[in-house]
Structure 1
Amino acid sequence: MDNNQTVHVEVAYALADKQRIVALELPAGSTVRDAVMQSGLDSQFPELDLSSADVGIFGKVVSKPDTQALNDGERVEIYRPLIADPKEVRKQRAAKAKARKQA
């Protein structure tokens, strides 16, 4: 951390066809949710609810973004809601493969 007690982080959000990464300088002690709220990404992605979106740091989900402090250089990622349950999709794929083998 530098002398003026700030952290430099990036906040990222992506859709299939569009992504944005915002670089921020925040006061030391800022939380993951602070960074998300300061990113302003909801102005570019109106469907995005920054106050409740699932978030992570470098691909790992943060379970308490309102209290977890950021470290200098971290990348905060805002996650989109899942369209389908991955377990259910795997079950369906396995059932189709089994049906093909039996045919």
Structure 2
Amino acid sequence: MASRPEQGGGPGAPAEAIPVSVCYADVGRIWQRELSLPAGSTVADAIEASGFRREFPEVDPTRSGTGVYGRRRPLEHVLHPHDRVEIYRPLVFDPKESRRRRAAHKAAAGQRAQVARRG
């Protein structure tokens, strides 16, 4: 009678591996690594395994933020097969302040146009 192999490869075998990618969009370039990690790995595990910290020592993912497919996720988030871990850049401008400036600029342009029509 032939024996069936155990699920997962038997004692001492690595856990089932899941494919994931880690990416970071820097100014002018996109950095990406494809990885195979043990099931149950976290965002932090993927970042560590990718070599990101060696490539970008000036970027701290704990401060700039991380996500999976455009949704913010903490470093403790457990990954699923084919997840794309994203490391975000710190914001250069406050989006609310930028919106206020655009609105003020648009209002000022509208006032200048009204004055020009009257003149």
The answer to whether the superposition gives a TM-score over 0.5 is: yes
Distance (Å, rounded) in 2 between the aligned partners of 1:50 and 1:59: 15
* Deviation (angstroms), 1:49: 2.1
Gaps of 5+ in 1: none
Q: Which residue of 2 aligns with 1:97?
A: 106
What is the TM-score with the length of structure 2 in the denominator? 0.76
What is the TM-score with the length of structure 1 in the denominator? 0.87
* Deviation (angstroms), 1:71: 0.3
The one of 27, 31, 34 equivalent to 2:45 is 34
Query: Could you say what secondary structure the match of 1:7 adopts?
Result: strand
Aligned pair count? 99
Query: After the TM superposition, which residues 1-103 of structure 1 pair with which residues of structure 2 at under 5 Å, given as runs?
Result: 3=8, 4-62=15-73, 64-66=74-76, 68-103=77-112
Identity percentage over the alignment?
A: 41
Gaps of 5+ in 2: 1-7, 9-14, 113-119
Which structure features the higher share of helix residues?
A: 2
Which of 1 and 2 has higher RCO (CA within 8 Å, sep 6+)? 1
Query: Could you say what secondary structure the match of 2:108 adopts?
Result: helix
The Cα offsets for residues 28-84 of structure 1, whole Å up to 9 and x where unpaired, read as 10111111121112222231224544111111111x322x11000010000000011
Task: Check conservation: 2:62, 2:75, Cα contact below 8 A.
Answer: no
Task: Check conservation: 1:37, 1:51, Cα contact below 8 A.
Answer: no
Flag the structure with larger Rg. 2
